[in-house]
């Protein structure tokens, strides 16, 4: 099947997928339909997961014909699926702009998590991340984000969604918030926002909005508690430092069901010393949070090395003893380049 042809075909018309209730109301008005038709379309798109306009049988035949002439549902099937020996599946999805992004489905007993992308590539340039090496090729629309969910063969199994794939969610916050609105709204998927986590390196322009316009969990990519060292690994530190956003996070109430976590990839000899752990305890003392220690998955041409399991266990135990809830995240999908920091579609996008 020629997936490039599919991408270009879908690009001819606007997609209904990704439109919120207000926008579907505008579509209804364009079609000369009553206002309640917006709710009918939303139910077909987001509750029933319809794939064709003709399936919206409570709309008149003439209304469906008008919609078909002006809009597509907008679902784009995965162009490729790879399955890891541990059961993780990595999907390659085409986007409205003619690019590709990767999503990772992670089954785990009674949980099934989908790691979704928010951008084609990423601007952040983190030195240890394959997506950062890809560079930035474009924003995903809300429809592109939702397509990763609604075109997923295992969609009915999902229990959690994490915005931890390609891209920096706060650098595409309008579309991320629109997607999460649809996922959590009564007219949409009706999920609790507590089933969704939005990850960020910490961006000034988006942090305030994320904290006050969303009830989803927040995960901060930290990786080093010393600003000057973090800046060498993560250029975003130079424009919005730990010294700025940690106090901002501390002003929020994290005692309810909303969770704050910090992601910490452990690099041998770089961020795994006792001094790093002491500073991490000091830095996070004002916060109700948890730390997830993550194994470094080696990427080509990098000076970074992963720390041994014994080091990660020592760090976990130190943090726990000093009042910081800490876990070691299980590594999944490394053999298919689906683990943390390994997503990259540069080669596929360059083929277009």
- Between the two ends of the chain, the Cα-to-Cα distance in Å is 15
Dihedral of alpha carbons 181, 72, 6, 137, sign? negative
Q: Locate 298 and state its tokens.
A: 């080696």
The residue annotated as part of the active site, out of 96, 102, 168, 237, is: 102
Q: How many CB atoms are located within 10 Å of the residue 243 CB?
A: 10
Closest CA to 117 of 102, 131, 130: 102
Run of H or E residues at 136: strand 136-139
Separation between Cα atoms, residue 338 and residue 341, nearest integer Å:
8
Distances in whole angstroms, Cα of residue 238 to Cα of each of 67, 70, 232, 234, 306: 48, 46, 9, 8, 25
Q: Report how far Cα 171 is from the mean position of its chain's Cα atoms.
A: 12
**Could you tell me the CA-to-CA distances from 159 to 13, 150, 166 in Å, in that order?**
32, 14, 20
Indicate the Cα dihedral angle 49, 55, 61, 63, nearest 10°: 20
SS3 category, 236: helix
| Separation CA 333–CA 352 (nearest Å) | 26
Query: Is the distance from CB of 128 to CB of 343 less than 8 angstroms?
Result: no
Strands (E), 204-343: 217-221, 260-266, 290-295, 325-328
Whose tokens are 């961020």? That residue is 271
Active site residue 289: no
Which are the contacts of 27, defined by CB distance < 8 A and separation ≥ 6? 16, 19, 38, 41, 67, 71
Q: Which of 115, 216, 326, 340 is catalytic?
A: 340
The verdict on whether 102 is a catalytic residue reads: yes
Nearest to 168 by CA among 140, 127, 208: 140
Q: Catalytic residue numbers?
A: 102, 340
């Amino acid at each position: 099947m020629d997936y490039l042809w599919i991408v270009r075909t879908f690009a001819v018309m606007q997609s209904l997928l990704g439109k919120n209730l207000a926008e579907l109301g505008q579509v209804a008005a364009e079609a000369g339909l009553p206002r309640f038709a917006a709710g009918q379309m939303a139910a077909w798109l987001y509750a029933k997961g319809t794939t064709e306009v003709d399936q919206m049988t409570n709309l008149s035949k003439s209304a469906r014909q008008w919609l078909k002439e002006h809009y597509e549902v907008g679902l784009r099937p995965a162009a490729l699926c790879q399955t890891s020996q541990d059961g993780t599946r990595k999907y390659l999805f085409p986007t409205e702009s003619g690019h590709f992004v990767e999503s990772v489905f992670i089954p785990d007993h009674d949980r099934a998590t989908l790691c979704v992308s928010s951008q084609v590539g990423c601007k952040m340039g983190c030195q240890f991340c394959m997506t950062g090496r890809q560079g930035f090729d474009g924003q995903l629309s809300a429809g592109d984000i939702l397509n990763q969910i609604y075109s997923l063969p295992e969609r009915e199994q999902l229990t959690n969604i994490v915005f931890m794939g390609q891209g920096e969610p706060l650098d595409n916050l309008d579309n991320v918030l629109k997607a999460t609105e649809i996922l959590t709204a009564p007219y949409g998927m009706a999920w609790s926002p507590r089933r969704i986590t939005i990850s960020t390196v910490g961006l000034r322009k988006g942090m305030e909005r994320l904290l006050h316009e969303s009830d989803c969990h927040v995960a901060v990519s930290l990786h080093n508690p010393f600003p000057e060292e973090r800046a060498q690994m993560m250029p975003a530190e130079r424009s919005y430092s730990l010294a700025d956003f940690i106090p901002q996070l501390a002003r929020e109430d994290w005692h309810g069901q909303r969770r704050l976590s910090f992601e910490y990839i452990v690099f041998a000899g770089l961020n795994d010393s006792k001094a790093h752990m002491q500073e991490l305890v000091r830095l996070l003392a004002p916060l109700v949070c948890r730390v997830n220690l993550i194994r470094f998955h080696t990427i080509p041409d990098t000076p970074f090395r992963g720390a041994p399991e014994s080091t990660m266990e020592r760090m976990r135990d130190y943090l726990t003893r000093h009042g910081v809830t800490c876990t070691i995240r299980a590594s999944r999908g490394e053999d298919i380049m689906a683990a943390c920091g390994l997503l990259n579609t540069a080669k596929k996008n360059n083929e277009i």
